[in-house]
Amino acid sequence: MPSRRDLLLATAGGVLLGSTARSLLAADAAPVAEELGQLPGKKLLIRRSWRPPNYETPLADLVPAYTSNDAFFVRYHLSVIPEIDTDTWRLKIGGAGAQKPLMLTLRDLRHDFKRVTLVAVNQCSGNRRGLFKPRVPGVQWGNGAMGNAEWTGVRLRDVLNRAGVAGDAVEVVFNGADAPVLPSTPDFLKSLPIERALDENTLIAFEMNGHALPHWNGAPARLVVPGWTGTYWVKHLTEIRVETAPFDGFWMAGAYRVPIGLFPGAAFKTQETAQNTPITEILVNSLITSHVSGARLKTGSKVEVAGKAWDGGAGIAAVEVSTDGRQNWRPSTLGRDLGRFAWREFRYRLDTQKPGALVVAVRARSLGGATQPEKLTFNPAGYHDNIVQTVALEIA
Amino acid sequence: MRGALAGAVLLAALGGAWAPAMADEDAIQLRDGSWRDLVAARCAICHSLDYLPSNAPVLDRAGWQKVIQKMRERFGAPITDEESQEILDYLTASYASKP
């Protein structure tokens, strides 16, 4: 059984691990042990917790342009996760701001609305929390609480418009089938500002990379909010409520917040307080997927450093590489543009003529003009780690 | 004892919905110490016990105190005032980063 194949890897710097193990380590190795584990229907992933299940995509599985369904990260807050019968599943649309409440079957969703496909990065708000300095509590994610996939579904706005959105609607609230163990624990409900809910790119998706959504990624239908962090991408959707007042549930009012004025990104005005505001858009970022620190290159060999760059939907303008301690930056070659919400591949040919240490730094710039920062902007929940990444290689 | 029983009943009552996710979770062994069984019983009602070692490098006594308070006040964990102290003592002794 899968659990018998579990491995325990200690991410000790400089230790030469087997090729499989090494490829699983994040470029800036997480400061915690990485234990591999497997959920039904998934391949071996980095297990961050058993229950609720939180599993991270290993670096090797972030190399392909599209992250495969069986390698895509899994993130839950609540431990009761029912297997849903697609025949009896219903999606209820109502709320004080819905003029004609309705109930949809999966068949209704698939046949009664225009089908839309887009490619988008889904990145957990807490991706890289395990790399935070100083460290902060929470799931100690490395680099792999993210992935890039092609999502197919229908526009949320088409569904909402059928339900009739009242003129004074301010937010749309989403609930999924996952539930808490105790009735005293807040259910996982999220809301979006009405304008983001009505955005043409916000989808109710039922397919991922051309296949039905995997159970662990939200079957039979989940929200897809391109450019916004994964917390809004509610899985196993069961109910959508159009509301005329801000939603005050715990997962909006008491979690997933950043100090006000600290980060760029879309505002969520109806949820703002004097102190903090919900995390919203993904910040410009990049990840080296070709190498991890400690890798050895043969002198004179043809080697490219490669990886992915992404942001919250402006798109990537350039990815630059420095090999001289961040003094000079040179442009890398960008891969195919899969859409402004997708990640963009980059590659850069390294000069391997001179033996010795080679420290490679990579920084991305968005079409919105934002560049990855050198210094981490600390925040208590450990969000938005998008600092310039380096890998220390050795040419010998 | 009372706590361990309550936890076991709750786990059993949930049936198979989440069974795949918790297979082999019971292999997680907490470090020895006073109040270990109480800690295991209370914490495992809602989540696997690997959350304790994974957060240990991040949390000192004050940090764990905040976590326990959050579990009680925000997540409705059934933990009494007296048990909170016992749980805090165990976590400080066995899973805290700093004195």
A361-375 pLDDT, tens per residue?
A: 999 999 999 999 999
The answer to whether residue A67 is domain-embedded is no
The answer to whether residue A34 is domain-embedded is yes
- A87-100 pLDDT per residue, tens: 999 999 999 999 99
How confident is the model at residue B47, as a pLDDT?
A: 97
The answer to whether residue A212 is domain-embedded is yes
How confident is the model at residue A7, as a pLDDT?
A: 33
- CATH number, domain with residue B29: 1.10.760.10
Tokens representing A392 are 């220390």
Instruction: Tell me how far apart the alpha carbons of residues A361 and A379 are, in angstroms, rounded to a whole number.
Output: 24
Instruction: Judge contact between A146 and A59, C-beta under 8 A.
Output: no
Q: Which of A256, A278, A300 is the last residue of a domain?
A: A278
Pair A317, A267 in one domain? no
- A246-283 pLDDT per residue, tens: 999 999 999 999 999 999 999 999 999 999 999 999 99
Average pLDDT for A4-23: 31
Chain B: give the shortest CA distance to residue A357, in Å. Answer: 31
- B15-74 pLDDT per residue, tens: 444 444 445 888 899 999 999 999 999 999 999 999 999 999 999 999 999 999 999 999
Interface membership of A270 toward B (CB under 8 Å): no
Which phi and psi (to 5°) does residue B18 adopt? -115, 5
Instruction: Tell me how far apart the alpha carbons of residues A137 and A229 are, in angstroms, rounded to a whole number.
Output: 19
- CATH number, domain with residue A207: 3.90.420.10
- CATH number, domain with residue A376: 2.60.40.650
How confident is the model at residue B13, as a pLDDT?
A: 39
Q: Please check the confidence at residue A209 and state whether its pLDDT lies above 50.
A: yes
The answer to whether residue A70 is domain-embedded is no
Pair A32, A95 in one domain? no
Q: Do B17 and A83 touch (CB under 8 A)?
A: yes
Q: Which of residues B23 and A114 earns the better pLDDT score?
A: A114
Pair A108, A47 in one domain? no
How confident is the model at residue A111, as a pLDDT?
A: 97
Pair A310, A268 in one domain? no
Pair A266, A291 in one domain? no
How confident is the model at residue B97, as a pLDDT?
A: 84
Smallest Cβ distance to A80: which of B14, B28, B54?
B14
How confident is the model at residue A356, as a pLDDT?
A: 97
The backbone region for A179, taken as left when phi is positive above 0, alpha when psi lies in -120 to 50, beta otherwise, is beta
Pair A158, A271 in one domain? yes
Instruction: Tell me how far apart the alpha carbons of residues A333 and A290 are, in angstroms, rounded to a whole number.
Output: 14
Smallest Cβ distance to B59: which of A40, A47, A137?
A137
Instruction: Tell me how far apart the alpha carbons of residues A266 and B66 are, in angstroms, rounded to a whole number.
Output: 30
- A38-85 pLDDT per residue, tens: 999 999 999 999 999 999 999 999 999 999 999 999 999 999 999 999
Pair A243, A155 in one domain? yes
Average pLDDT, chain A: 92
Q: Please check the confidence at residue A389 and state whether its pLDDT lies above 80.
A: yes
How confident is the model at residue B23, as a pLDDT?
A: 55
Tokens representing B38 are 């109480």
Q: Which residues pair with A243 in a beta bridge?
A: A171
How many folded domains does chain B comprise? 1
Chain B: give the shortest CA distance to residue A304, in Å. Answer: 35
Average pLDDT for A6-29: 34
Q: Please check the confidence at residue B10 and state whether its pLDDT lies above 80.
A: no
pTM of the model: 0.90
Quick one: three-class SS letters along A202-238? Answer: CEEEEEECCEECCHHHCCCCEEECCCECHHHCCCCEE
DSSP A282: P
Between β-strands A237-243 and A211-212, what pairing exists: parallel, antiparallel or unpaired? unpaired
Q: Do A50 and B76 touch (CB under 8 A)?
A: no
Interface membership of A195 toward B (CB under 8 Å): no
The answer to whether residue A158 is domain-embedded is yes
Which phi and psi (to 5°) does residue A255 adopt? -150, 165
The answer to whether residue A79 is domain-embedded is no
Pair A343, A217 in one domain? no
Q: Do A185 and B57 touch (CB under 8 A)?
A: no
Q: What is each CA distance from A147 to A72, A119, A124, A278, in whole angstroms?
A: 6, 11, 9, 22
Q: What is each CA distance from A122 to A7, A73, A126, A162, A177, in whole angstroms?
A: 27, 9, 12, 27, 20
Instruction: Tell me how far apart the alpha carbons of residues A352 and A356 are, in angstroms, rounded to a whole number.
Output: 9
Instruction: Tell me how far apart the alpha carbons of residues A389 and A248 are, in angstroms, rounded to a whole number.
Output: 37
Q: Which of residues 2-31 of B touch A (CB under 8 A)?
A: 10, 14, 17-18, 20-25, 27-28
pLDDT-derived band at A8 (thresholds 50, 70, 90) equals: very low
Residue with tokens 């980059």: A346
Pair A297, A265 in one domain? no
Q: Which of residues A31 and A335 earns the better pLDDT score?
A: A335
For residue A93, the SS3 value is strand
Show the domain range for A390.
285-395
Q: Please check the confidence at residue A29 and state whether its pLDDT lies above 90.
A: no
Q: Which of A260, A278, A296 is the last residue of a domain?
A: A278
How confident is the model at residue A365, as a pLDDT?
A: 98
- Nearest chain A residue to B63, by CA: A137
Q: Do A50 and B25 touch (CB under 8 A)?
A: yes
pLDDT-derived band at A226 (thresholds 50, 70, 90) equals: very high
How confident is the model at residue A32, as a pLDDT?
A: 56
Instruction: Tell me how far apart the alpha carbons of residues B16 and A7 are, in angstroms, rounded to a whole number.
Output: 26
Q: Please check the confidence at residue A9 and state whether its pLDDT lies above 90.
A: no
Chain A: give the shortest CA distance to residue B33, in Å. Answer: 23
- A124-175 pLDDT per residue, tens: 999 999 999 999 999 999 999 999 999 999 999 999 999 999 999 999 999 9
| Enclosing H/E stretch for A259 | strand A257-259
Which of B24, B25, B58 is best to mutate for the A interface (most A CBs within 10 A)? B58
Interface membership of B58 toward A (CB under 8 Å): yes
Show the domain range for B30.
2-95
How many folded domains does chain A comprise? 3
For residue A158, the SS3 value is helix
Interface membership of A274 toward B (CB under 8 Å): no
Report the range of poorest mean pLDDT among A8-12, A306-310, B52-56, B95-99: A8-12
Pair A126, A204 in one domain? yes
Pair A247, A232 in one domain? yes
The answer to whether residue A143 is domain-embedded is yes
| Enclosing H/E stretch for A286 | strand A285-288
How confident is the model at residue A85, as a pLDDT?
A: 97
The answer to whether residue A86 is domain-embedded is no
Pair A48, A178 in one domain? no
Q: Which of A221, A246, A278 is the last residue of a domain?
A: A278
- Nearest chain B residue to A141, by CA: B54
